[in-house]
Structure 1
Amino acid sequence: MTYAIIGFGEIGQTLARAFARRGIDISVATTRDPESFASAAAAIGPGITPKTLAEAAEADIIFLAVRFQSHSDVAKVLPSWQGKIIVDVTNAYGVPDEELGGQPSAKVVGEAFAGGRLVKGFNHLVAAVLDQDPVAHGGRRVVFLTSDDEAAAEEIGALADQLGFAPINLGGLSEGGLLVQAQGNSWGRLIFKDLVQFD
C-alpha cells in the first residue's frame, strides 16, 4: 500500500509527522516544484518523500490536505481516480451552501475525484492538537471518519489505528458526516472536540 499527502501546509506537515512517528513512508506534494519544499520534508524524516503532483497521485491512498477551494484543481491531475481512496481533510467553512448545491462538502469533493473512494477524516482537530502524541491521558486520541463506502472507511480506520489514533466511524456523509463538516459559517458539532478513547 502506498500513501501520499497532497498539500504541505500546516495540516499536511502535521499528517507527515504522524506517519514519520510510526516509520511509515509517505509521499508529499503541492502544486510547486518538489525541490521548493524538500528541506521541510527532510526535516520531518527520511521516509517523507517530496514528489510532483502527478507522481503523488499514483499512490493507493491520498490525503487531500489543501484548501477546499483547491480540491477541483487537484482532481484534474488524473482523468479517473478508480480504486484509490481519497481522505478528505478539507474544511469548507465559509463556503456558501449554494456553491455546494446543498450537499455536504465531502460529497462535492467525492464527485470531483471521479471513480475514487472518498473518506472524510482527520479534519476535526486543529493542527496543533493533531500534532501531539495520539496516546494521551492513558487512552488514544479520537479521529472521526465518515464515508458512503464502508470498506474504504474500514481501511482508513485500520490506518488511523496504525498511526496510534482511535478511529470512530460516524457512518454516511449525509448522516453522521454532518457532525464533522462545516456548513456555511457554522461548524459541525464534533469539530474541534479533542476526545480520548480508553481501550
Structure 2
Amino acid sequence: MRIGIIGAGHIGATLARQFSRIGHDVVISNSRDPETLRGLVEELDGKVRAVTPAEAVAFGEVVVVSIPYGRYRELPTEGLQGKVVIDTCNYYPERDGRDPDLDSDATTSSEKIRDHLGGADLVKAFNSIYWENLRDRSRPKGDPERLAIPISGSDEEAKAVVAGLIRDIGFDPVDAGYLGPGGRKHQPGAKVYAAELTADELSALLRTG
C-alpha cells in the first residue's frame, strides 16, 4: 500500500518506520523542505522518501496527518477524494491556541480537520498512544502484552483499512464509534488517553464512556 505521511514528529516518524518495516511504500513530509528530513531517511535505510505535503497527498492511498492541531489549516485540500485519511492530532490549547468550538465541546478536532479537507474519509487513530509505546511495544497476535489502539470514524470501510494497518504493525484496534462521539472517548482528558491497555481492557473502558 502507498502511504503518505504529513508530519515528521514523534508519531509521524514512528509510523513511517512501522509501516515501512512491514513492506508498505511510504513517503513523509514536514512543513519545511524535504531536504530537512535527510537524517530520518538515512536512519530508515532509504526505505522512506522525503517529499512535500502536496506530494504526500498525491502519492498516498492512505494519508496520515500528524501535525499540531493548531496548524491544520495549512494541510493540502486537493487530491484527497477516495483516500483514507488517518488523523493522529490532538488539541492542546497551551500549544495550539484557544479554539472556542472545541472548548465548548460543540465539535471535535477531527471533525474540524475532516471539514477542512472537504469531507475526506477520516479516521482518528494513533492519537492516544505514547509514541515510545508505538515504537517499542509491537507484539504478535495473541500475546497477552499486546496493546490496543482506539479508532473512531464514520466510514466503515476506511476504519477497516486503518484497523488492518494497526494489526499488521503489532497492536489491536478497538472501534470507539463514530468520529464525533467516538473521538471524544480517546481525546486528551478521556479515560483511555495514554492508557496502556489490552483490547479487552480498552473495550470495557470505552463502554463506560
Q: Does 1:117 align with 2:121?
A: yes
Q: Does 1:92 align with 2:98?
A: no
User: Which stretches of structure 1, 4 residues or more, deviate above 3 A after TM superposition?
Assistant: 136-139
Shift of 1:98: 1.3
User: What is the TM-score of this pair, normalised by structure 2?
Assistant: 0.84
Shift of 1:80: 5.0
Structure number with the higher helix fraction is 2
Consecutive unaligned residues of structure 2, counting only runs of 5 or more, are 201-209
d(CA) in 1 for partners of 2:27, 2:92: 27
Q: Deviations over 1:80-117 (max 9, x none)?
A: 52111110000012264514371011111110111411
d(CA) in 2 for partners of 1:99, 1:153: 25
Given that 1:80 and 1:115 are in contact with CA atoms closer than 8 Å, whether structure 2 keeps it comes out as no
d(CA) in 2 for partners of 1:79, 1:23: 27
Tell me, what secondary structure is at the counterpart of 2:147? strand
Tell me, what secondary structure is at the counterpart of 1:122? coil
Tell me, what secondary structure is at the counterpart of 1:155? helix
> Of 145, 149, 155, which residue of structure 1 is paired with 2:155?
149
Consecutive unaligned residues of structure 1, counting only runs of 5 or more, are none
Q: Deviations over 1:15-51 (max 9, x none)?
A: 1121233232210001211111122122023321111
Q: Which residue of 2 aligns with 1:195?
A: 197
1:125 and 1:164, CA in 2 relative to 1: closer, same or farther beyond 3 A? same
User: What amino acid sits opposite 2:198 in the alignment?
Assistant: V
Any residues of structure 2 matched to 1:52-67 within 5 Å, and which? 52-58=52-58, 59-67=60-68
**CA RMSD, Structure 1 to Structure 2 (Å):** 1.9
d(CA) in 1 for partners of 2:73, 2:84: 16
d(CA) in 2 for partners of 1:15, 1:78: 22
Between the two proteins, what is the percent identity of the paired residues? 28
d(CA) in 2 for partners of 1:78, 1:146: 21
Q: Which moved more, 1:189-198 or 1:11-20?
A: 189-198
Higher RCO, 1 vs 2 (CA within 8 Å, ≥6 residues apart): 1
Tell me, what secondary structure is at the counterpart of 1:38? helix
Number of positions where the alignment pairs a residue of Structure 1 with one of Structure 2: 192
Given that 1:23 and 1:47 are in contact with CA atoms closer than 8 Å, whether structure 2 keeps it comes out as no
Q: Which residue of 2 aligns with 1:41?
A: 41
Q: Deviations over 1:31-75 (max 9, x none)?
A: 21111112212202332111111110111111111000111101x
Tell me, what secondary structure is at the counterpart of 1:110? helix
Q: Which residue of 2 aligns with 1:178?
A: 184
Any residues of structure 2 matched to 1:67-106 within 5 Å, and which? 67-74=68-75, 77-79=76-78, 81-94=80-93, 96=98, 98-100=100-102, 102-106=106-110
